[in-house]
Amino acid sequence: MPPVLRATGLTKVFGPREQEALRLAGEGVGRDDVLRRTGCTLAVHDVGFAVERGELFVVMGLSGSGKSTLVRLLNRIVEPSAGTVEVDGQDLRALSDADLRNLRNERVSMVFQHFALLPHRSVRENAAYALKVRGVPAAEQRERADWALRTVGLLDRADARPDQLSGGMQQRVGLARALAADSDVLLMDEPFSALDPLIRRDMQDLLVQLQTELHKTIVFITHDLNEAMRLGDRILMLKDGRTVQLGTGPEIISAPADEYVADFTSDVDRTRVLTAGDLLREPRMTARLGQSTGEVLRTLGAAEANGVYVLDDGQRIAGVARDDLLARAVQEGRTAVGARELVADYATIAPDRPLVEFIHLVGKHAVPLGVVDGSGRLLGVVPRAAVLDALAAVPARREG
């Protein structure tokens, strides 16, 4: 299956001498020099990526980096100077004007910055707006609008007018409108940027929660890296119209592609972005219930460790065998690791929990923090070194 959305070599030049600007850009001339020599703005240059179904893909960059241009290229509101966009494998260049209108309504639709609500229409009518424009029958409009309002927690206000709602509720109506429209891909160009911080945080939480239920395909633009980290499955970092890095939030934070990205990420609270799953490593050793006490003791000695996780047949943690208890077992002639050798000298965490929630548990026990799934199976461990490495991440060395 092709990705929902694929951009290849996407480039946009604004200005009169497009071909000349493209040629210079192709030779590696930077944006400022292209502008000086041709009077053209190289808004986006040679950007490529693929968005998978159900992914929340964030495009992030400073003001003027080309984010809005890029997102408008994705449904040909802006015509590319070079490169291609494919939706479900179909090249947008092949579409007629009518096909394109249809595409923008039903397949790749733009959610506008302030969700501009219609002041004299009810909340329900606002939520149904995109469907009405599209000519969907009234009963279906109502059904989908009500579903979307219920989803954002506002069905009980369906008959109110927007000005009777708080700012945060109005934003949720806008989000309901986007959900009701139910296009394959939602393009969201800084939808939360004008909101005050608390409402903004609420909207981010709501979007994250909706994503876990609805798995929409979303291209979300922001200039706020913390927002990008909170929302994005993957993040494309743009600088002067070019891609500087594409990866998950934890990937970008722990291995920034260059000094620019490293500078950017230095303000991010890593402890909220990195999860136990990002940090987990293969345990250096584990032991099994019933294994020879002498053997486990020797392994511990060789590894200069004080304890080891003992697992049952289902890879679940039975306990920790500590060297002092093992030594006594050997002395007293108990040859198999059993309950008497086990202590609860360990702590565990689920893989999706952020570092901020477990950093205080790291390095506190005879064994590293255990990462376990819902049934208590040991997936890996988070040694103290993994945490220190992640907190001290430095940019990747440039080639050459």
Ligand X SMILES: Nc1ncnc2c1ncn2[C@@H]1O[C@H](COP(=O)(O)OP(=O)(O)OP(=O)(O)O)[C@@H](O)[C@H]1O
> What b-and-e string marks burial along 303-338, b requiring 16 or more CB atoms within 10 Å of the CB?
eebebbbbbeeebebbbbbbbebbeebbeeeeeebb
Pattern 192-231, binding to ligand X, x per CB under 6 A?
A: -------------------------------x--------
In the bound complex, what is the minimum distance in angstroms from residue 218's beta carbon to Mg ion? 16
Query: Is residue 30 a contact residue for ligand X (CB under 6 A)?
Result: no
Q: How far is CA 18 from CA 22, 73, 84, in A?
A: 6, 16, 17
Cβ closest to Mg ion, residue 68 vs residue 275: 68
> What b-and-e string marks burial along 56-72, b requiring 16 or more CB atoms within 10 Å of the CB?
bbbbbbeebbbbbbbbb
Going across the sheet that includes 56-60, the strands are: 108-111, 185-189, 217-222, 56-60, 234-239, 242-247
In the bound complex, what is the minimum distance in angstroms from residue 61's beta carbon to ligand X? 5
Query: Is residue 68 a contact residue for ligand X (CB under 6 A)?
Result: yes
Query: Is residue 38 a contact residue for Mg ion (CB under 5 A)?
Result: no
Residues 305 to 334: which contact ligand X by CB under 6 A? Answer: none
Answer for which of 43, 169, 300, 326 binds ligand X (CB under 6 A) is 43
Q: Which stretch binds Mg ion (CB under 5 A): 66-74, 134-142, 256-264, 382-390?
A: 66-74
In the bound complex, what is the minimum distance in angstroms from residue 112's beta carbon to ligand X? 13
Query: Is residue 109 a contact residue for Mg ion (CB under 5 A)?
Result: no
Answer for which of 3, 30, 64, 351 binds ligand X (CB under 6 A) is 64
Query: Is residue 76 a contact residue for ligand X (CB under 6 A)?
Result: no
Cβ closest to Mg ion, residue 69 vs residue 141: 69
Collapsing DSSP to helix, strand or coil, 331 comes out as: helix
Residue 236 backbone dihedrals phi, psi, to 5 degrees: -100, 120
Collapsing DSSP to helix, strand or coil, 304 comes out as: coil
Query: Is residue 239 a contact residue for ligand X (CB under 6 A)?
Result: no
In the bound complex, what is the minimum distance in angstroms from residue 189's beta carbon to Mg ion? 6
Q: Which residues contact 39 (CB under 8 A, 6 or more apart)?
A: 15, 16, 17
Pair of tokens at residue 130: 């995109």
In the bound complex, what is the minimum distance in angstroms from residue 92's beta carbon to Mg ion? 21
Cβ closest to Mg ion, residue 8 vs residue 113: 113
Cβ closest to ligand X, residue 2 vs residue 9: 9
Helical residues (DSSP H) of the chain, grouped into ranges: 18-26, 31-38, 67-73, 97-102, 123-127, 129-133, 138-151, 167-181, 197-214, 225-231, 249-254, 259-265, 270-273, 276-279, 293-303, 323-331, 355-358, 384-391
Query: Is residue 41 a contact residue for Mg ion (CB under 5 A)?
Result: no
* Residue 319 near which of Mg ion, ligand X, none (CB within 5-8 Å, type-dependent): none
In the bound complex, what is the minimum distance in angstroms from residue 187's beta carbon to Mg ion? 12
DSSP-derived letter for residue 195 is S
Taking the C-alpha atoms of residue 15 and residue 371, their distance in angstroms, rounded to an integer, is 55
User: In this structure, are residues 273 and 76 in contact, taking their beta carbons and an 8 Å threshold?
Assistant: no
Query: Is residue 256 a contact residue for ligand X (CB under 6 A)?
Result: no
Query: Is residue 243 a contact residue for ligand X (CB under 6 A)?
Result: no
> Under the rule (CB under 6 A), what is the footprint of ligand X?
14, 41, 43, 61, 63-69, 223
> Under the rule (CB under 5 A), what is the footprint of Mg ion?
67-68
